[in-house]
Copies of this chain bind each other. A is one copy, B any other.
Amino acid sequence: MKITIYDVAEKAGVSIATVSKVINNTGNMRDTTRQKVMKVMEELNYFPSVMASALTGKKTQTLGLLVPDISNPFFSEMARTIEDRAHERGLSVIMCSTDEDEEKEKKYLELLRRKQVDGFIIASSFHEKKLLEDIKSAGIPLVMLTQDAGSLGVTSVSVDDFTGGYEATSHLLSLGHQNIVIITEQRLSSKMRLYGFREAYETYGYNYDESMVYQTVASIENGKTCLEEILKRSDQPTAVFACNDLIAIGVIQGAREQGIRIPQDLSIVGFDNTILATTTVPSLTTVAQPVNEMGKKVVDVIVSNINKEEENAERILFKPKLIVRDTSARLTSK
Contacts and interface: CB of A to CB of B under 8 A. Distances in A.
Contacts of A52: 55
A322 B69 CA distance: 27
Interface string A105-124: 00110111111100000000
A50 interface: yes
A80 B84 contact: no
Given A76-B70, A76-B73, A83 B110 contact: no
A51 B50 CA distance: 9
Interface stretch (A33-41, A89-97, A146-154, A225-233): A89-97
Interface in A96-146: 96-97, 107-108, 110-116, 134, 138-139
A244 interface: no
Residues of A in contact with B, size category? 35 or more
Interface string A252-296: 010000000000000000000001101111000000000000000
Contact of A275 (B55, B73, B84, B94): B73
A94 B94 contact: yes
Nearest to A256: B281
Contacts of A220: 275, 278-279
A111 B48 CA distance: 10
26 contacts: A2-B138, A47-B110, A48-B114, A49-B114, A49-B116, A50-B114, A51-B54, A51-B55, A51-B115, A52-B55, A62-B115, A69-B80, A71-B73, A71-B77, A71-B79, A76-B76, A79-B95, A83-B95, A93-B94, A220-B275, A249-B279, A253-B279, A276-B279, A279-B279, A279-B280, A281-B281
Interface of A: 1-2, 45, 47-52, 54-55, 60-62, 69-71, 73, 76-77, 79-80, 83-84, 87, 92-97, 107-108, 110-116, 134, 138-139, 220, 249, 253, 275-276, 278-281
